[in-house]
Chains A and B, each alone.
Chain A
Amino acid sequence: MSLQCIGEDNWVDTRTVYIGHKEPPPGTEAFIQQRFPDNRIVSSKYTFWNFIPKNMFEQFRRVANFYFLIIFLVQLIIDTPTSPVTSGLPLFFVIIVTAIKQGYEDWLRHKSDNAVNHCPVHVVENGNVVCKQSCKLRVGDIVLVKEDESFPCDLILLSSSQHDGTCFVTTASLDGESSHKTYHAVQDTKAYNNEREVTSIHGTIECEQPQPDLYKFVGRINIYMNNEPVARPLGSENLLLRGATLKNTKYIYAAAIYTGMETKMALNYQAKSQKRSAVEKSMNAYLVVYLCILVSKSLINTMLKYVWQADANRDEPWYNQRTEAEKHRHIVIRAFTDFLAFMVLFNYIIPVSMYVTVEMQKFLGSYFIIWDHEMLDEETEERAVVNTSDLNEELGQVEYVFTDKTGTLTENNMEFIECCVDGYVYVPHAICNGQLMPDAVGMDMIDTSPGPDSREREELFFRALCLCHTVQVKEEETVDGLKHGSHHGKSSSFYISSSPDEVALVEGMKRLGFTYIRLKEGHMEISNREDEIERFELLEVLTFDSVRRRMSVIVKTSTGEFYLFCKGADSSIFPRVISGKVEQIRSRVEQNALVGLRTLCVAYKRLSPEQYQEVCHLLSNAKLALQDRDKRLAEAYDLIEKDLILLGATAVEDRLQDKAADTIESLHKAGIKVWVLTGDKMETAAATCYASKLFHPNTQILELTTKRTEEQSLHDVLFDLSRTILRQHGNMTRNTFSSLSDDCTDYGLIIDGATLSAVMRPSQEDSNSGNYREIFLDICRNCSAVLCCRMAPLQKAQIVKLVKTSKEHPITLAIGDGANDVSMILEAHVGIGIMGKEGRQAMRNSDYAIPKFKHLKKLLLVHGHYYYIRISELVQYFFYKNVCFIFPQFLYQFFCGFSQQPLYDTAYLTLYNISFTSLPILIYSLIEQHVNVDVLKKDPFLYRDIAKNSLLRWSTFIYWTLLGIYEAFIMFFGVYFLFDNTAFTSNGQMFGNWTFGTLVFTVLVFTVTFKLALDTHYWTWINHFVIWGSLIFFVVFSLLSGGIIWPFLNYQRMYYVFIQVLSSGPAWLSIILLITASLLPDVLKKVMWRALWPTTTEYIQMGPDSQGRDTAAVGHCLIRLLCTLLCVYKYT
């Protein structure tokens, strides 16, 4: 603890704080006064001044925005085929809307920062308590915190209202542990417990510079009494963290040491970075491909143009001269201008509207999550919250789920379920009027009438539970949330303990008739069933530790007998038991553990006074040891806690959330790996995992814990495990897939925080450094479930990061409810907050927040699935329809002397993406359901069909692109051959180039819309309205725009063009023909693939309960009819 060991070089890594800003007396070491930040929390991104430049910079950093900006600028500068308005208007609309939105959000952040920073705190100044704004707090200030207030910064406890200088604190919002923890003041300052006295403390605190680890703190306090410095070590038991709340203590005085952004909580808070979904990444990749297509198209056309123009009579025939200015332009400039003009002509291949549509789809689509009635919590009437809609589709891609345990999987509400004494099972709620009723249902081993001997055992067991604990009693009735249960009846006292299990046990005992009253003057008082007070003198407490996993007390009864009561995990008790009904109790314990109850075994030993003396001797020796005190103590405990007599076992339940097991099973079926990351201890966590079906009874558990790594080196353990796994894996691959489901044992891994950090630590020998991680990941990959216990918040994030950055780059999802989950929520691809009891931190930092864990099932399997198929179709379709749109223009260049002549009219060019083809795909991407909601919920394995971004694979993308190119060819050359040097009206008049374009465009709009109609599996009235509506709109628009001489336009090229087209029979016929020919291959492909290689989804679609069957039956009848008709047709 002492800082002496830290060398001079490391002085920078420590800070010195003057308590109450009092200079240390002269003559002591002079420290350089450091500058500390004030206690201001800043989560906002912009200030008033840098908003416009910073926001613009960030927006134009997006490839798409930058590209559109370039196109717009090019259009402004050079003479291009299309007007700059066509690209400028949508771009600036998008930019301004985004800027307003981001500005508003940042303003809200400013507001909440201000609220936090201006929150009043009490500071002791010159012996008076002064109220200050939180942000004005400085390092060294002495702060007064009252009960139920949370600490404004990281503080060193100086004194409290309690005389022993302790205070209780709940760190629920920091690390998720809802229990009350005890913090201690330094011995020398605990007496100064009013503001006048506390001002008189003269001292300095030396401590390390801020570190994110919540559980580590090293420091030293120097107190100058009469100018004689007294140095005391400071540890994490003295440090009160910002965000924690003072409980059950009237007030405390403490000195601020870390403030503002340097508090441990702020350091644990990771900046909320923009998350990008896998779909967006695919989209960007496609964008790059299309950019390449665009550039190469333009390059090819520019080159061909100059090859073609080499002949001067082609370049400038007499009928088509250049202006003087153009003639004098340098050829390089001309070529470059031409290149840019081609770029502009083809730029619609990457439309602004796609980004707008994607954003709209995400924004509007996320309302379905909010609206979802099934994700509404009936009790609290809370519904899901969407904090960012950018990740909707990512919900359909999740491969790993990292879940917090307490409050997420469980309700965070301990309840005593039963106890088992010598094989008799007692269930508290089966008690009527204090009368015990052994629960005999289904218990073969229970004798119906316990004899007097066992009666005695039973009472001993109850007394043991009433005595063997570290529970404190709080008399006062205060509203303290629900965590410690409500207390009905006469007693108004609370039980408080660092372990909620103990509270549950003591409360359970109370319901069984034995009430622990208080600890008074070293005597524990309990009232037994007859309401008599029994007093036991508490002699020794052998405290709980996670290595021993048990605790003991030694008491002296009023009759003078010495008893040792021990309670602990079954694994640590059974080996120390010499008698008792071990077998019955063991089977009961195992049975309970399987259903996820937290079990403890209770044993006792009667000590003779001599034995007691020996024990005292052992203990005091160990306690007085100066070196290896912990080790000595452990040895002493080991000697004392043996030869026990087993009394019974208890079972406490941290009730699982409703349908948690069902949800986890569904996720498993959907191919998602579920990891539980918890700060809780291993046994508890493992029990929960069993209860929630994360581990099955036949799951083989692999442990990677401190206990094991103490025995073997980490290296060996890791290799051992991986060998086990790989052997199994080898067998598995040899077997066929059919046996995969049942026969082979699946593995579950348990790892604890300490071991994890050892695995993660980049070791000095570089040979092994990367290896550990790899091996660890390898093991994890082959485990169906992983449990990580004793995790610090940042470790949770580390785990998520480790998996996220592993070579498969799986999509991760983190779900939690407490502030301790925030870092992993921020780290994972998708962060989900549960609206739990532990504050709103997780919810605020999450991407989505849901009321209960069970809602995750629908969120992923239904919403995620839908969003993914919707957006993938949206993306593919958008690229496809623009290939169809622009490719004919490209082809047309070959017939117009590469002159950048647009095929379509400006109105068509602008409106194609904005109005003619935008709404159907938007509506599709909002309400498409390829499979019904209920089917998706019923058959989680459908989720596997879309795993790994399967609908946006390159092959699919290439298929769509090729389809687009094919359709463009059909449309262009179809019309080309129709136009081929002939009239196609009955009056012999000829059509011009705009008619050509209009004809292609008409076919295009219809084809592209019909293609979407063919892909739609869910035709609501909205789909009908939008699909037919937009086609009608196109026709009406064309009729109107061609029917009027537009006074404000300087060209009238579309005048009557469309109407003339419609007056021509062959035009109608060719439109029908070309649409049919364009759609044919896609329909064929779909039908063939479905018949030959159907996916699971397609099977489900054709399932007996869907309409597909009926239509198929109708189809059958039709076919028969047709066949007969055909025969007739052929023979006549």
Chain B
Amino acid sequence: MMASSYNAKEEDGPHSGTPGLGGAAVTKSKKPDNTAFKQQRLVAWQPILTAGTVLPAFFVIGIFFIPIGIALFVTSNNIKEFEIDYTGVDADSPCYSCAKDFSWNSTTSCTCSVDFKLEQPFESNVFMYYGLSNFYQNHRRYVKSRDDSQLYGDLSALTNPSKECEPYRTSNGLPIAPCGAIANSLFNDTLELYYVDSNGTRKEIPLVKKGIAWWTDKHVKFRNPGGNDNLTVSFEGNSKPVNWRKAVYELDPTDSENNGFINEDFIVWMRTAALPTFRKLYRIIQKKSSNTATLPSGNYVLEITYNYPVLSFDGRKRMILSTISWMGGKNPFLGIAYLTVGSICFFLGVVLLIIHHKYDTRNTSADIPS
């Protein structure tokens, strides 16, 4: 297709159709260079995969993978994780009424509280997640429905958001900030955790809301237009997303470093999840001192301000408490996979060893068929 022939430089014409008359000018070509590359005789390493060469590799893989697998598996098992579904599907669940009576127009928020008990204390820092199921944050229409320039603080994008944001681009004639389906559907349940000690008193557990978003997102990718002060002025010409109860500059009025586009809850939400069942980091419970557990075993109450409807699309909401190791949260998969692959390699190594011994001697003695 590109260049199938290059007779042109060798000869005057590819074929003229008349011998003799054309007077083919034959250019005497010069002697080709005799370099190793041109003669296809470059120095080369010529490895061949045989049972003999591959065998050690299999054993090595087996020997390395099996211990790694064991280590991963043990680590994963040591991680403590607690998960509770608070959607309120069943009639006897605490949030049933909140879930059932949900209306976009209600001005008062519905709250409910869920009791649960931790059997084992959580020693190190505890990470509190909210989880959603059957929520397609990775739907194409959804994923692209955002304007990164707007979120970067671009003023023109603020007044004229990207078309990708449709149908969440304008509301009542005013451009929406932040525009798009992702921002519009920001998770807005509020979760509070109380420890119920032995005499029944509730003690609020301090939840840290800093450090839940990627550092680069918070400090580079997301920016408020016109700085972090006077957000009200900055967003004057904009409308709030249709499903929001409050405007973007009211996300965290107490902390100007966490308000507007750089609100960490907002940033976390804006990173669309890969799969329809996902969790997102909500708060961090920091370990206070070395001798007390972050979350001692006992009874807890989860107070929920129920704002986020999921039942309409058969979704679920969860709250997850988890400790974290160097390898992240609880996930036995990696350990098991390492063990499996390692064992398979080892087993194959043995099989190949047998084959190698049985056939290799025969092969070398056999004649080459012609």
Contact = CB atoms under 8 A, between A and B. Distances in A.
A1100 B26 CA distance: 42
Nearest to A1082: B49
A269 interface: yes
Query: What 8 pairs between A and B have smallest CB-CB spacing?
Result: A112-B13, A319-B185, A984-B328, A1115-B52, A996-B274, A150-B20, A1112-B52, A173-B19
Nearest to A375: B32
B359 A1091 contact: yes
Interface in B290-333: 309, 312-314, 322, 324-331, 333
Contact of A1056 (B217, B328, B341): B217
Interface string A1026-1066: 00000000000000000001000011110110001000111
B338 interface: yes
A1018 B14 contact: no
B61 interface: yes
B284 A387 contact: no
A381 B18 contact: no
A94 B141 contact: no
Nearest to B139: A899
Nearest to B331: A982
Contact of A320 (B6, B54, B136): B136
B23 to A, nearest CB: 7
User: By CB atoms of chain B within 10 A, which of A360, A383, A902, A1073 has the most?
Assistant: A1073
Contact of B44 (A62, A895, A1020): A1020
B4 A1091 contact: no
A372 interface: yes
Contacts of B20: 150, 173, 243, 245, 839
Contacts of A990: 129, 268, 271, 273, 278-281
Interface of B: 1-8, 10-24, 26, 28-34, 38-56, 59, 61, 63, 65, 68, 72, 125, 127, 129, 131, 135-149, 152, 162, 164, 166-168, 181, 184-185, 211-214, 216-217, 220-221, 243, 268, 271-281, 284, 309, 312-314, 322, 324-331, 333-334, 337-338, 341, 344-345, 348, 352-353, 355-356, 359-360, 363-364, 368-370
B32 A983 contact: no
Contacts of B24: 839-840, 844
B329 A1094 contact: no
B327 A1065 contact: yes
A648 to B, nearest CB: 41
A265 B369 CA distance: 49
Given A381-B29, A381-B31, A1115-B52, A359 B16 contact: no
B212 A989 contact: yes
A1051 B151 CA distance: 10
B72 to A, nearest CB: 7
Interface string A425-440: 0000000000000000
B212 A115 contact: no
A987 interface: yes
B28 A381 contact: yes
B2 A101 contact: yes
Interface of B is mostly: loop
Contacts of B330: 982
Given A1019-B47, A1113-B52, 19 more contacts: A101-B4, A105-B5, A109-B16, A112-B12, A115-B16, A371-B32, A381-B28, A388-B4, A981-B275, A983-B279, A986-B324, A1018-B44, A1045-B221, A1056-B214, A1064-B328, A1092-B359, A1119-B55, A1122-B59, A1129-B63
A839 B51 contact: no
B220 A1045 contact: yes
Contact of A1080 (B1, B29, B268, B344): B344
B13 A269 contact: no
Interface in A826-841: 839-841
Given A119-B21, A987-B324, A1073 B53 contact: no
A393 to B, nearest CB: 13
A313 B22 CA distance: 78
B46 A1017 contact: yes
A373 interface: yes
Contacts of B55: 1115, 1118-1119
Contacts of A1050: 147-149, 162, 164
B78 to A, nearest CB: 14
A636 B271 CA distance: 107
B166 A115 contact: no
Given A983-B329, A1091-B355, A134 B26 contact: no
B49 A108 contact: no
18 contacts: A94-B1, A111-B12, A116-B16, A319-B185, A320-B145, A373-B32, A389-B5, A844-B14, A866-B40, A984-B331, A988-B125, A990-B273, A993-B273, A1051-B146, A1066-B331, A1077-B341, A1083-B49, A1091-B356
B45 to A, nearest CB: 4
Contacts of A356: 1-2
B13 A933 contact: no
Contact of B138 (A174, A314, A993, A1114): A993
B221 A41 contact: no
B328 A322 contact: no
A1116 interface: yes
B319 to A, nearest CB: 13
A1038 B191 CA distance: 37
Contacts of B272: 992-993
User: By CB atoms of chain A within 10 A, which of B30, B213, B275, B325 has the most?
Assistant: B275
Interface residues of A, number: 162
B67 to A, nearest CB: 11
B55 to A, nearest CB: 5
A242 interface: yes
Nearest to A999: B274
A382 B29 contact: yes
Contacts of B277: 981
Interface stretch (A567-575, A627-635, A1102-1110): A1102-1110
Contacts of A376: 31-32
Contacts of B273: 990, 992-993
A111 B139 contact: no
A1090 B49 contact: yes
B256 to A, nearest CB: 23
B334 A978 contact: yes
Contacts of A1069: 68, 72, 327, 334, 338
B139 A174 contact: no
A983 B47 contact: no
B32 A927 contact: no
Contacts of A1056: 214, 216-217, 221
Nearest to A121: B21
A1052 B5 CA distance: 44
Contact of A987 (B51, B211, B355): B211
Contact of B13 (A108, A359, A1091): A108
A966 interface: no
Given A840-B24, A993-B137, A1045-B220, A373 B334 contact: no
A983 B48 contact: no
Nearest to B280: A990
Nearest to A988: B127
A586 B110 CA distance: 121
A979 B274 contact: yes
Contacts of A882: none
B50 A109 contact: no
Contacts of B327: 984, 986, 1065-1066, 1069
A98 B1 contact: yes
Given A115-B13, A116-B22, A1119-B55, A1086 B49 contact: yes
B140 A896 contact: yes
B16 A897 contact: no
Interface stretch (A184-192, A362-370, A403-411, A717-725): A362-370
Interface string A700-742: 0000000000000000000000000000000000000000000
A655 to B, nearest CB: 24
B45 A1108 contact: no
B102 to A, nearest CB: 11
